[in-house]
Structure 1
């Protein structure tokens, strides 16, 4: 294929004669003006190329008869590359079907056609073209060739697409905008409203035009809306008015806002406005106003003063009640300076700090402060409690501060009395244990900082119990109050005294740099001598004799606990050997503490190594000798000495950490044994497990035990929990009662162990869910008729029978004891007479029925 004229057309030889002119050129060349004649100007082909119009002439076999450069540029192919290539090869795939169908239909009729389609170049780029296709026929009327004229319209198509997108964007902006857009003429007549009007009001598009929109306005709001609109029209100023519109769901609040477009002379050309649905916000605001009004009424009823600060408008409001509290007149201005002036100087910084924090915006959402004021009218000092709430705007800035003020003078006075009562002993007026310990902590810190020493002495009134038992508690109280007064006088003003509880008192004395321990000892001994002087009370002579133990900081302890412990050790030693005197702490007195520490260490190791195991002592019916259950007794295994009794680790049962751990091990062992016995078809009755007071300090005690029984599949009725009266004493008794109630409700029986040895046994039987009373072994050891112990046992058995409680006598070791108990109708007993504590395997052997004799 050779190149032709400068117009860029190519020519192919061997065309059918009918397709060529007399000069053997394509007829298209005749149309385009043939080869370029410089004197005649550029040929049409050159003009078309410069005009960016592409020309392609091909025969029915797709051979290129002529093509210009513009067409080659449009499809990204050379003239040589076009020869024999189908139109589908350079048409965009999405346009092939449409283009081919149109081409075939028009070719059958040899009628030209126009189409807009995309050409795809070999490099993947796409160009939109307006394509005109004509057909040249031979003498017989058959299509001999095709002439394609193509013009790049890509920019036009892009512009049209952008226009359509812009129109769609505008249309969706209007249609989807939650606000209703509208326009009005200079006279205020509505000219147009967005389709949203019809959606909201369920009306026809034309209903809003003119003044028809007023038909949708709530009758009560028409006057206000029209007045606002007329005022805006008259002044050409923006309008902003709220009213209700009728909707399918009922009337809703809307906010109408509009502004005018003015011409150069300031005349209104058109009004542009929006309608915004504010129903939810309006109802919320109304609810807020109603809530605030209720709050104010409640505050008035409760005698609260209100300090309301609007941070947005920097405006304060004081309620009449608040002004009355301050002693101000009703017309007094609500100024911060006024309030500050009334606060007593010592508390003024509290209010100043709060005001500054609010101004800075860094106060908490909720705050409170209690301070004193002097009334403006009488000068009387009053306590005021302020409670405030800081409210933020949606932007996060401070919007409002609301403060309630309450006169708490009477409450403060009562609180001071309560606080004094909480920190002092009501009988003697001395600091109680907690308050004294706090003072001692502070004194030790001061001594540590100054490098000085102090002495601590503990005093125990020797005969308080005897006085209470023989003369009465009023005499005991007189003894204690006299003791406290004498001790305070004897020790002097340098000493700080406290009553630690019962018959125990304490005092610490800071030592001067030149003062030695002997001097303090002489002071305490002199106090003991002064205390020992008898005094008369209600025709009785009472003695204030006391025993004292003392320790020295820092020699005997570096903190309050160690110092108290050392003094307590000394007091214990003195009471054992030298009553009525002073014992100074010596290191060898720690021996019993070391024994206790040893017990705790052994217990920890036993728990850690799983060497805790239960032994079982049978409980029998005195009526028929039948085993009704067992009591699980703790034993532990020593690596060299074998099974050990619990006395060797007795201190562990008072330890808040070890006692629950021991209980855990015991419970695990007991549950495993019960499950094994039941699986073997044996009936062990109820198994009693002891709970130490320390175990009740853990809130999950009930859940822990009930869960263990549930997971093991053991009915709760198989378990009995034994407690002593010590669990009911001191703090936490209410929680203990709640736990026992939970156990009882879950089916576990509660036994009160060592009954008769405590202080309030009958009260405990009445107040707590006790199912079983266990008579302490100390009463069973001497059951001969007529003895005091026998009388106590008889009374307990009768008490249990009347209360419907099971009674079990502990420590039965002789047949005579068993016979006596049986005669008194005591239902159950346990002790060495019926069996020693035994292993789980021995229990199984004892419960297994004996095999019948072999014939």
Structure 2
């Protein structure tokens, strides 16, 4: 909570010496509010407990109300945000003493608002919480007496008048007593708490000081009570004021306010008992005014003494600063009385010698013990020369017990009497240790200059080279003698932009430093990028003397940056621009088109059957297809055009520089691109056919900005895709409604998936031999609340595109198993076939989910059959083959649906664990075409081979009597289609089981 508390006392939470004035109280805003509320109730109850109501104006007020001092002190320390604590404390206090709830709330609101305002003004006026200056106590007095308490008294008195507790005739009297009692209480408690909160003050109010303060306060109170027995009551009051001055002088603001508090409590209790000088009808105002005067005396005297102590501290600080300045100079001094043989050292000399002043004092012997033994003869020689009239000057070393050395230089002179005899030997000793270390560092820097791996160049103020290091020669190929005196510009390769040099010199002139990249030319003519750091060197007077530059070859780093730059702006698979780069370049193209009045077109490409290629031939072939598409698009584009891949099979091309006949030109270009993309692709031994659906938006007809143009091109592309494969569409405003409808359908579909708004219908498969029901195929149906029944061909592709095919298929499997279990329990037998999508077959949890559903509903695996499309099975990867084997091992029946489109695949089925073949609708529909004489031969061949392979054959889509007769005569095992039965609801299936018939 340190941060929260700090925000509540910005700029005022530290007193003199940088000490925290509220070090422990800051532990959370809630804790602060609770603490304020408790303290408010305590001080308020304490104030009420020793008040007396014998005076007329006291009927609705308190003689001395201390609780508001708690609120002000807390607001000063923690901020105005603690006002809820004041509100709660005042409300509890008022309600506990019989005030009505509205009145209690009103008074609490007035006092909490007053506290919040006081805390804000406390900070605005920059009052120090430690209250150590006359300005602080004066502003605090103005804040309490002139701002806060007039507000409190006015608000409280108005509330009492509104509540009927006082009449207008007592308004002024009540206001005055309220203002006076609250002012005294706040002036007592707030400064005392603020002073105690200051760490240095808090340490003093303890032990003997606390006892002494209490004693002096009681003595002062006793003197006031004895006033009538002295010569005059004024004498007792004056003595009490004198005692208060003593308390304030000795114990400061906290002691003074504490002593006044003791006196207030003592005097009120004595007055209630009928003792003392304040007994009578006017005792209340007199006592209040006396305490107010006594408090002012104590507090102002305390501040006067506090300021005096601050002045004394400032004087000591000045003395310490002078000593510190001498210490910074590392200059000690000595004075030797050569007549009395008395030697004195300065404090700094003691520090240099690292000796402590003691009884032995300073002596030549102690000094010589510190001198390095090898340097002692030098000192003796210099001293003898000084005695002979030469100046005393000697540089030597000091050796310390721990082995450390100091380097010093001593200078001195001998003052002589008129007769020439030496009288006083005066001298100074300068500690040169740091200077010696600096010289050592200079030697080190010189070594680093020579040995550095970075090339370093030093030039004059006129920018002529004065020095280079060996690394410079290695990096540039130039020897020092070839470059000394030359301007470094001869190294420039001519590839650095001119604005870089402008920024370089501007930075050197303004900041004395520059770092950046430059292109330099090696002596052999090769060009390299360099990372250079340049600095300005000035003499102590600030005059420019030299420039320094260090630089390293960053060729490898630049190559890596270029690679990263390409990764950031280009698609890693195709090398085309990515979405980010497309946005940047399209923005530039639009700016140019607006500036020149030109036109451009945005083309959105979506490859048809790309998902099938991925699913059937694998992602490797899909990636090859994307790469080849990118190559064909690049080969169809002009230099000024922009090509990008957004992800998946979505590509974008921007045609720029179009004229007035933009639409016709775009149509010609797109037609050629579409034809080129529709050409077969030979990929990894596979011949792949894939066309493209293309949406086109023109600038400025179809949009003024990137967002509009891309959205409209995307809409046009979806419209083209819905119209068939391999076509392109220009954007039209009517497409917005279709797009909105599709988005709405997706949202409704997501809701239906979340709420299980689908149901299964079941189409029977009938045996040809006895016309009995053999199996039911589960077909998903969706009844939309507004659209009615939505065709599966409309919502199933959307489920696939939304990536929800696996979860939706899992629900179909589980619901089918549940229905099988229900029908078997009621009717003894039931088999259901379920279609599997490619996404489900690729799901690693398909087998696990299927087994879980079988176990959950307690059915045999053989009652469930999975239908897989022929193209998926034949062109499937090893992953799909493994899944089929796992499902077969589980006991689930497997069927190949839509069979007949790839007749050559029949032999391939021998290697797969398949139980059933399901002839496609196209094969069955061909039976009714008399001109197709090969149909009977093909169907008969399929049936013969399938029966040889022990496979059951189902004919799907039987819709005419001719088809039924043909298939029955050619020994097809099962028939399915609207001729026999439409898909049935669950209730209709039950009716079928109960003998309703087909």
Shorter-chain TM-score above 0.5 = no
Structure label with greater radius of gyration: 1
Task: Please tell me the TM-score bracket, short chain as reference.
Answer: 0.3 to 0.5
Q: Which has the higher strand share?
A: 1
Q: Which has the higher helix share?
A: 2
